[in-house]
Structures are given as C-alpha cells and as structure tokens.
Structure 1
Amino acid sequence: MATPATPEALDGLTHDPYATYALLRESAPVRRVTGTDGNAAWLVTRYADVRDALADPRLSLDKAHALPGNYSGFALPPALDANLLNMDPPDHTRVRRLVVKAFTPGRTERLREPVRRAADELLDAVEEAGGGDLVAAYAAPLPVAVICDLLGVPATRRPDFRTWTDALVAPDPARPHRAKEAVVGLLGYFTALIAEKRERPGDDLLSDLIAVRDEDGGGRLSEDELMSLAFLILFAGYENVVQLIGTAVLGLLRHPEQLAAVRADPALLPGAVEEFMRHEGPVLLAIRRFPVEDVTIGGVRVPKGETVLLSPGSAGRDPDRFADPDRLDVTRDAGGHLALGHGIHYCLGAPLARMETTTALAALIERFPGLALAVPEEELRWRPSMRARGLLELPVVCRVGEKSPKNPLRDR
C-alpha cells in the first residue's frame, strides 16, 4: 500500500491546485493521501480514471459503506443528509426521477428572459457605483435569486441563504460554530417553509414536491428526502454557479484576446462556458465515494470501504484528453469535461447552470466594454478549500469615458 502523503504535501491543492495536480497525474495518478480531516483517502487525478470511476457502480455514495473510522465528514442531521449526494440506486433513481423534470432544457430556456432581467437589474447598481466586488454584487445574488424563485423562497430571506451556504462550503477553522449555526438555520427555515407551503401551495418546485410527498403518504418521497432535496437544490444550484461566474469573468480579464473573441462573436459564449468549466470549474473534488468491494483504479488496488476522491478539476487539465490544457481557449471543443460529473450522478441542474452562466456573462460583456480588474491579480483571494475552486472577491472597475451599449432587453 502506498505511503500516505502528509497534510503539508497537500497544501498545493489549496494554494496552487493545477500545478500540484499536474505533478500527481505524472508521478502518482492514484495516490493515497491524508486529507484535512486526518483520515486517509485515495486521490484519483487522470481523466480516464476519473471518468470511469464516476460511473462505476461499485463506488458508492452511501456512507454506510465506509469503513469505521475511515471517514469523518461534516455531519448533517437526517433531514438534510437524505439527499442525492448520499444515495445509490434504487433510492437515488426514485428520488431523482421526481425532480428531474424541473431542470429539463425546455423548462430552463423559459427562465432565460427572467434571468436576464435580474442580471440587468444587478448590473444597474454595478454601473452606478462604477464597479465594485463582482462576486458580492453580481455573481452571488443572481443564482441565489434564480434558485429561490424556483423553490418559492421569499426575497426577504435570500441574504440568509447566502450566509448559510458560504459557511458550509468553506468552513472557517477559527469559527467552527458557524457551520453548525448554518445547519440549524437551514433546517429551521425549510421546516417552516414546507409547513407554510402545505397550507398555501404556490407555483414553485417545492410546492410540487410537497404535493408528491403528501398524495401517496410518503411512498415515493419521505419527509426527510423532501427537505434534503430542497437543501441540495439550493446548495448546489447556488454555490457552484457563483464560483463559475466569478472564475469565468476572471478568465476573460486575464486573457483579453479571449474576451475580444467573445465580444466579436457572442455565439461563442455557450461553448466558452464549457471551456470555463473545464479550465477552472468550481468542483476540484467530487463527492467522496466508498468501494463496496476491492476495486482497481488506474492499476492501483483500492480496498473495500476506503474513501475515494475523484478530481474533475485535475481531469480537465489532463493533456492526454485536452491538448494544451492549461491554455484557456473559448473556441475549443471542451465537450467531455467532467465538471458536471458523469454517469447516473451527472449534475441535475446542468441545463440551468449553463443557461445562468451564459446569460450572466452576456449581460456583463454587453454592458461594460471597459471592465477591468481593480486590483493586481496577485491580490485576489481564493476560497481556502481543496474541494471547491472560487474567488472570495472580484474587485472590478468600469473605465470612465467608455459608454455602455444599448441593451435591447433592458431598454424595451
């Protein structure tokens, strides 16, 4: 068995993930490491191995298959833990089937104009201020508004959701109570919201799920699964899009020739979003998995019950799959990237995430031809996380003297 790497050896996965992943792909593509929780895990970094493992039914998401003492992830209460990220078939199949219709490409496309209107309203404030932190002013409030509209969450409570999800995605070691407070806040809020929608259903996804749950007495969806679905839709649908918008904008500002290409031909944007996900997507490590039997990954035997960490972030930079992978190229065919997963656990909200990001970037590019970083790039701060890649802030300025083009949607 390979000797575990020390936690110090993994520092690069937080501070310089892509350089560290390049070394691992070359020297130890399936490597036993010591995670930040002090437990051992198998880190898989090559594209072919990650793709195969994501679809391997022998790698379970159910924590019941973990060896005792092998995994000590953050403990959620049952009412939030019974979600798709902890399920295997047949439960996963049953629950996913109930909600997948909410995220079809057709239904998502009908949301495009409302999302564009919300984007334009947020950019009005950015324009008036002459710039600011684009994460706080734009990348964060836009997806939270979309997801909260989808679930039927009142606008007055949306700032709470941003605070709670931020505390769970990047826990502060100096303030461990914040994550626990976020769980209590989310559980209490969804309990009250579900009770309210039972009394007064609305035209929203949560009301639809409550109806499914109540009509058959819980045969298709338990109460814990109902609440966990609402939690997962909010959490995953908000956080990943926030980070994707932020890193996509930074990628364009880092590479003016790529920004110029998208400005000259807006039809490149959908493909560019796939490239942003490949090049610097929000998910460095997929949700942990546990082999239900001894398995071989990339020629390495991984024992039953040990923790396996698959890296879509590393897979997207694998030169065996993508030519010149460290180069951002908005004209590249980035199809086949693993930022949204692969197999039965492929991202439920993929059509919505694509549409939101494409719409957000189009609105921003059209509005601000003079958009620029307000600080040197080396001063930008990133989330201190091995799992999620995202900016804490993105300070920008709109250069004085450059007029914004007329926006046909906003100026109707």
Structure 2
Amino acid sequence: MDVTPELTTGVWADVVGQPEAVRTLRAAVRAADLLARGEPAPAGAMTHAWLFTGPPGSGRSVAARSFAAALQCTSGEGCGHCSACRTVQAGTHADVRVVVPEGLSISVSEMRSLVQASARRPTTGQWRVVLIEDSDRLTEGASNALLKAVEEPPDRTVFLLCAPSDHPEDVSVTIRSRCRVVQLKTPRPDAIAEVLAERDGIEPRMAQWAASVSGGHIGRARRLATDGEARERREAVLSVPLGLRRFSDVFTAAGGLVKASETDAVAANEDRNEAEKEELRTAMGAGGTGKGTAAATRGANAAIRELEKRQKSRATRSQRDALDLALVDLAGFYRDVLVVRSGSTAALNHPDFARSVSKAAAEWTSESTLRRLEAVLACRLALTQNVKPIIAVEAMAAALHRG
C-alpha cells in the first residue's frame, strides 16, 4: 500500500500514493519555517522554484496546493485546520495566487501581470506563493517573462509549476534548470480505492472498480464512481474497436466521439458561463436608469463580448481534454489486446472489458493491433497541433477500421 498513515494527515491527506514526494515537501516546509525565522536550515531543503511533474491524474496540482498550504500554515507543517490551510485549499488566501489556464495557452500579458504581483511582499502569510497549473501551456513569451522572475526571485516568493513531464518540449530547459523537480508517480489502484471509500464515502466495491479502470487517475476514478453518465461515455468509447465492421461505421463512431466531447464541455462550463456573464452585467451597471446608462450599456456589451471570447477558448480546451481522455481509453484497449496476444500476465487497463479484448486478440494480428494503437496516438498528436477534431478523429477511425 502506498499510503503511509504518518504522512497522510492534514493537507497531505489529499496527496494520494506519493510518500516520497510528501517526505521531500515536508522537509522543505520545515526548512522554510527556519528560514522565515532567520535561522539556518539544511542546505538544499528549500528553494524558490519547484516543478511538479508526473502522469495525468497523479495529483500534481493537488501536491503543489498542499505544499502551498503547508508553507502558509500557522499551526504546523500543514495541519489542515488553521485559517491559512483552509483558505489556501479554498483558493482564497491573499498571498497564494493560483493560475489555471482557461484556454489553450497562458499568454505573455497574463504572465507579466503575475510576475509583477509576485514581487510584492506577503501580506498575511510568511511567503508569497505563485502556483501555475499546466505550465506546459506557457507561450514562448510567457516563458521568457516567467524566466526573469525565476532567475532573480523576489524575497519570500515561491514559484510552484505543474507539468505532465520535465521534458524540454513541456517546460523550457532554462526554467527547468532553475527548479527543484518533484516527480510524482501513478498511484496504485488500492491506494485510490481506499481514498474513495474512506474519504469520499463511496461503496467499497464501486471504489475498487473505479480505481481499477481509471489508469491511476484519481479524479477520473472519483468521477466514474459518482457519475453514471461518465460511465456510459466510457462504455461507448470502448465499444468502438469492435464496432467498426463496415466503412460507414467510421463516420458514425467519429461523430459520436466528437459529439460526446462537445456535450461534456458544454455540461462542464454552462452554469459557470452564465454566472460569469450575470456578474459582469451587474458590475457594469446593467438595468440602471438615468444619465450615462447608454454609455454604460455599450461598455457592458463590449466587456461581455470579450468574456464570451475567453469562454469560447475555455470550451475549446474542455472539449479537447474530454476527447483526449476518450483517446487514452481507446489506446488502453489496444494495449490490452497486445498484452493478451503476448500471453503476458500484466494487469489490463480495462479489466471489465476483458471479454471484448480477448475477442479482438483472437481476430487481429499483433501488427494490425499495433497499427491501430499508433493511429490513436497520431490522433492525439494531431489535436495538439490544432487539427479540427472531426477531421483528426475520422482519419483515426478509418485507420482503426483498416487495421
């Protein structure tokens, strides 16, 4: 079991299956506390820039946020109960700025504004913390703006970056070389199942199933365990490989995958979009009467159009993320077929689809299965290069049909 009781208390309870990372971060918190009091600390235990890497679902941003809370904690090394811990976890602490890219990238103007804010001294806590999720989405200009701050860090400021890996294509070499890397690993299914059952109150059998099919992605496991529609979408995706019997099925399957991702994106953003528009209208004086209302209305309309542009960019990202998740499931299916054909005893990504996997393994050669897997991976790459989703997915589905 990856969960160690003494490590999973307070804010660290949310960092699932990462005992080595938690030990490193807790040592850094102790060193940071000594430095804040002007006392000597162990060399190298604490630094001003950190890079959290690991596979999707490993909890990069969760670990970074827990670390930020522990740095601000007033009662210990991240007690989880004091006001500082609770406000950091809720995203409302005055000295912790969390950047979550709304669109497909983080712009240079946004990063310059962030770097400017990071230069200020903390107001209520001991540190000013800047946490950037998905830092692999930084544009070249934004990376250069961040690099200057990381090279000449302000006193009492800590930068926490999160990225899928520390490969130069994800995070520039110059930024990476100035960060201490915390490498997270894929949590074991039993650790995920324990968290779902004990912390989220999910029925143990459902928790075990969700953990076994989530690919080590904690958030995905939680969603599969609690959302019936998410389970239905997964089943629809995994029915594609054996459902491509005729060429006409290619277009049906591709359209279904893209439509499902669009629906998922709308569902994820609809309520938030409307709430943002309503807040903006109120802030801009919508519904007012008297002098100046015409000018205020024009200003409000312009602001709403700008907001709608940002919301559209966020929807595009949500759709791409939902579609990529479906492609990961598909890739896992073809990998399972290769496992069965090779006679390996390795665990399947989709154990509940073992019968379909065995049927495919009996019908396909290893070479054709590998070609299908490569087609899925090529589709994922095409989507990162802004190929229209329907075109990329239809090309992939045709390759899956052809074998």
TM-score by structure 2 length?
0.28
More RCO (CA 8 Å, sep 6+): 1
Whichever of the two has the greater Rg, that structure is 2
With normalisation by structure 1, the TM-score equals 0.28
